[in-house]
Structure formats: structure tokens, C-alpha cells
């Protein structure tokens, strides 16, 4: 009887192990995004032949606590451990990705040469111009590409075709200029009114998630992407892509399809990011 019991235990463990191998590796605070082609008709890539491999993307925007743990200081204008880090440039965040990868024993995704000016950077106002290239095959943290960001924001294969990430009602999923302060604002966008209303970033994950369980891909802070602002797969440019809109911006900036742009060396109190990783 004892032998039969041990046999059943071992057999059960083998079955559980086999089943677990069919599932993607669990990564804390990362959401697994099954690859495929675009299905959201509100996306810039709707109807195009754009197919993505599987990947992971941050369930939340990178927080100030996460930033301090890796970088040692907090540049944010609005302080709070659970609020998204902001006031970070594109260069700051690719460096964060590498430093966090090293900290967690992963192979850094980027090769960053701070001494060599990037010949592909056409921005006369950018006095940094580090050369950053991809370390092929690395398993470390990185920025999502614009296409990956848009695909994940739209809900991937589970997309319901929403205008914003998770809803057709921005107030359900996004923090933007009308709702990110002391009271709900109306009328046209107006900076003095926004400022006097004490608008600011909000703690991550306090609005409704999208179809994949990802939060704040519409509103809160604008999010850096890897890509140059230009045609798909542009290898040079003057600006890097930002997506999702932020607490300062108009509701149209929160739409999945909205394409923002920013100097790579630029930063602001509405500018943050989320991380991604290969499968």
C-alpha cells in the first residue's frame, strides 16, 4: 500500500512538472503577451501585416521605489514610492534597464557607448547622443518597441477594440488633465486651471486594467518606447516615441493610436516608462 501511495505521488509530480513546462516562466510584475497580428481597429497598425513574437511587458509603470532600488536617487517631481518615476530621459531609462538586469543576474539588453555620438540622432538640441544598440540574444530588461507597446495596450489577442487601453471611457482607465487633480475639470485644456487644481501623477494600478491585466497604459505618465519617431522601423530620427499620454495631456493623447514624440534627452513630470523582456 505504501509503495502504491509513493507511486501515485511521483506520478502526480511528473504530471504537474510536465504541465508547468507548457506555461511561460512567471516573472514578478510582468505580464506575458502572446504574440500575433493586430486585431484592434483603433490601432495605428490595424489592417497591416504586423506580426509579433511573444514577450513580457510591465504590469505597471516603473515606480519610484523600483527606480531608487536600482539607481540610488529619485528625480521625480511628485514623490511617492508607489507612484510612477518621472523626470527621466530616454537615456536614463535605457541605463536603468541595464543596471536592473545586472542587479538581477540577467544579461544587459543594451550596449551603451557614452563616448561615441550616435550618428543616427539628428536632433540639434540633444547634447547627449549616447550610442545605444541592442545586445542580440540578451534576456535583460528593455523598453518596449512602439509596436509592442501598442499591441499590449490594445489587449493583444484578447483585444475588444477599445479606444483607450481597457475601455472606451477614458475616466475608467486613465489619469489625464480633467481627472488628475482635486476636482473634475471641464471645458478646454487650460494650464493655469490644471496647475491650480493640483493635478499630478497617481499611484500605479488604481484605475481599471486592460484585457491583459495591464494598468495605466492610458494616462498617468507618458511612456518611452525604443523607437525613433518616424516610419515603422526607422533607423534614425530627431525624436523618440512616447505613448499613452499623461496627467497633463488631453484625452486624445490617451488613445492607443496616439503617437507622441520627445527629445531623447528631454524629461518632465509627466514622462515615465514601463519595462519589457523577451520570452
CATH code linked to domain 28-278: 3.90.1580.10
Residue with cell 502526480: 12
Residue with cell 514578478: 28
Which residues pair with residue 277 across a beta bridge? 56
The beta-carbon contacts of 92-97 under 8 Å, at least 24 apart in sequence, are 92/267, 93/62, 93/143, 93/224, 93/273, 94/132, 94/142, 94/143, 96/62, 96/67, 96/70, 96/71, 96/141, 97/140, 97/141, 97/142, 97/143, 97/275
pLDDT at 159: 96
Read off the pTM. Answer: 0.89
What's the half-sphere exposure (Cβ side, CA atoms, 13 Å) at 105? 0
pLDDT at 40: 84
Domain boundaries, the chain: 28-278
Cβ neighbours around 42 below 10 Å, total = 16
Dihedral, CA atoms, 239, 244, 249, 250, nearest 10 degrees?
120
Q: Single out the residue of 82, 91, 78 nearest to residue 123, CA to CA.
A: 91
Please give the Cα distance from 130 to 89 (Å, whole number). 12
What's the half-sphere exposure (Cβ side, CA atoms, 13 Å) at 90? 30
Per-residue pLDDT tens listing for the chain (279 residues): 444 434 333 344 433 333 333 334 445 799 999 999 887 888 888 777 789 999 999 999 999 999 999 999 999 999 999 999 999 999 999 999 999 999 999 999 999 999 999 999 999 999 999 999 999 999 999 999 999 999 999 999 999 999 999 999 999 999 999 999 999 999 999 999 999 999 999 999 999 999 999 999 999 999 999 999 988 778 999 999 999 999 999 999 999 999 999 999 999 999 999 999 998
pLDDT at 48: 76
pLDDT at 25: 46
Task: Report CA-CA distances (Å) from 273 to 39, 151, 187, 188, 194.
Answer: 24, 16, 29, 27, 23
Which residues pair with residue 261 across a beta bridge? 241
Amino acid at each position: 500500500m505504501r509503495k502504491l501511495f509513493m507511486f501515485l505521488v511521483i506520478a502526480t509530480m511528473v504530471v504537474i512538472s510536465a504541465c508547468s513546462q507548457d506555461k511561460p516562466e512567471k516573472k514578478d510584475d510582468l505580464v506575458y503577451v502572446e504574440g500575433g497580428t493586430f486585431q484592434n481597429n483603433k490601432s495605428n497598425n490595424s489592417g497591416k501585416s504586423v506580426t509579433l513574437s511573444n514577450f513580457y511587458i510591465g504590469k505597471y509603470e516603473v515606480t519610484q521605489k523600483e527606480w531608487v532600488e536600482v539607481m540610488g536617487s529619485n528625480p521625480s517631481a511628485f514623490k511617492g514610492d508607489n507612484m510612477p518615476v518621472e523626470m527621466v530621459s530616454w537615456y536614463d531609462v535605457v541605463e536603468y534597464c541595464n543596471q536592473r538586469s545586472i542587479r538581477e543576474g540577467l544579461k544587459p539588453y543594451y550596449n551603451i557607448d557614452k563616448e561615441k555620438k550616435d550618428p543616427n540622432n539628428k536632433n540639434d538640441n540633444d547634447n547627449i547622443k549616447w550610442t545605444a544598440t541592442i545586445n542580440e540574444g540578451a534576456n535583460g530588461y528593455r523598453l518596449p518597441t512602439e509596436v509592442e507597446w501598442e499591441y499590449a495596450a490594445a489587449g493583444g489577442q484578447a483585444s475588444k477594440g477599445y479606444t483607450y487601453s481597457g475601455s472606451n471611457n477614458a475616466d475608467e482607465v486613465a489619469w489625464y488633465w480633467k481627472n488628475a487633480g482635486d476636482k473634475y475639470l471641464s471645458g478646454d485644456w487650460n494650464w493655469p486651471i490644471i496647475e491650480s487644481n493640483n493635478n499630478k501623477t497617481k499611484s500605479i494600478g488604481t484605475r481599471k486594467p486592460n484585457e491583459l491585466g495591464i494598468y495605466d497604459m492610458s494616462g498617468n505618465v507618458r511612456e518611452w518606447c525604443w523607437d525613433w519617431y518616424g516610419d515603422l522601423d526607422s533607423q534614425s530620427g530627431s525624436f523618440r516615441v512616447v505613448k499613452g499620454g499623461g496627467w497633463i495631456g488631453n484625452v486624445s493623447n490617451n488613445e492607443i493610436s496616439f503617437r507622441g514624440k520627445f527629445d531623447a534627452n528631454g524629461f518632465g513630470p509627466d514622462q515615465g516608462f514601463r519595462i519589457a523582456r523577451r520570452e
